Amino acid sequence: MKIGLFIPCYVNAIYPDVGIATYKLLDYFGLDIDYPVNQTCCGQPMANAGFENEALTLAKNFDEMFGRYDYVVAPSASCTAFVKFNYPSILDSNHPCRTGGKIYDVCEFIHDIVKPAKLPGRFPHKVSVHNSCHGVRELRLSSASELNIPRYSKLKDLLSLVEGIEVFEPAKVDECCGFGGMFSIEEPAVSVCMGEDKVKNHIAAGAEYITGADSSCLMHLQGIVERNKLPVKFIHIVQILASGL
């Protein structure tokens, strides 16, 4: 299989180590990976702000660039969900979408397609899992509590393969952290209150680290932690899964 590696713009600009860890992890499994150097933003910020027409050019560029791969893999649940669920309507008859059905968040891809029996790393720390809204309710990385279905978590399944780790989840496990794209800009006071509640629940669970599949949510929570000088650290889940590589 040929994999196109998509590194979202905010990961590339702010969290490049997450992109590097994603490549290392996919390479560890012996996969054929290509990184198109001319890739750009997927267009999610424009669409979130209500300007889907401004995302059309980016969506066409993305679809043409990544359409030739068997799979497209990205370390971002929100960007993955945007391409998967929004591109078909944005592109519409202008450009039939080729990538919506083949893009995966890296955790989703490893869990559902690669299906490893073990991972190489060791991470001897207490980690609390943050479930982002896009990951839970669009990509189904974990079960949504309102559906009243048996509880599952693909993120916890993968973390259980890492030696030495202790995995926790906070109370109100799939409640929004308050980031929510434009919501955190348009309603900053409410967003901060939601984030503070979320951080308290993670710390109460016993976390040394908070982890998750979306750097955007982790960035929001980290800002709250740093402003309040709270005793917890942050790490993207793929960095844990790739530890030791």
Q: What is the SS3 string spanning the chain?
A: CEEEECCCHHHHHHCHHHHHHHHHHHHHCCCEEECCCCCCCCCHHHHHCCCHHHHHHHHHHHHHHHCCCCEEEECCHHHHHHHHHHHHHHHHHHCCCCCCCCEEEHHHHHHHHHCCCCCCCECCCEEEEECCHHHHHCCCCECCHHHCCCCCEHHHHHHCCCECCEEECCCCCCCCCCCCCCHHHHCHHHHHHHHHHHHHHHHHCCCCEEEECCHHHHHHHHHHHHHHCCCCEEEEHHHHHCCCC
The lowest-confidence range among 7-11, 22-26, 46-50, 87-91 is 46-50
- Cβ burial 72-108 (10 Å sphere, 16+ → b, else e): bbbbbbbbbbbbbebbeebbeeeeebbbbebbbbbbb
pLDDT, tens digit (0-9, with 9 covering 90-100), for 126-163: 999 999 999 999 999 999 999 999 999 999 999 999 99
Q: Bridge partners of 105? A: 74
What is the arrangement of strands in the sheet containing 126-130, beginning at the earlier edge strand?
166-168, 126-130, 209-212, 233-236
pLDDT, tens digit (0-9, with 9 covering 90-100), for 72-126: 999 999 999 999 999 999 998 768 899 999 999 999 999 999 999 999 889 999 9
The lowest-confidence range among 6-15, 18-27, 91-100, 217-226 is 91-100
pLDDT at 18 over 80: yes
pLDDT at position 103, please? 98
Give the amino acid at 34.
D
Sorted by where each starts, the structural domains of the chain and their CATH numbers stand as 2-114 (3.40.50), 126-241 (no CATH)
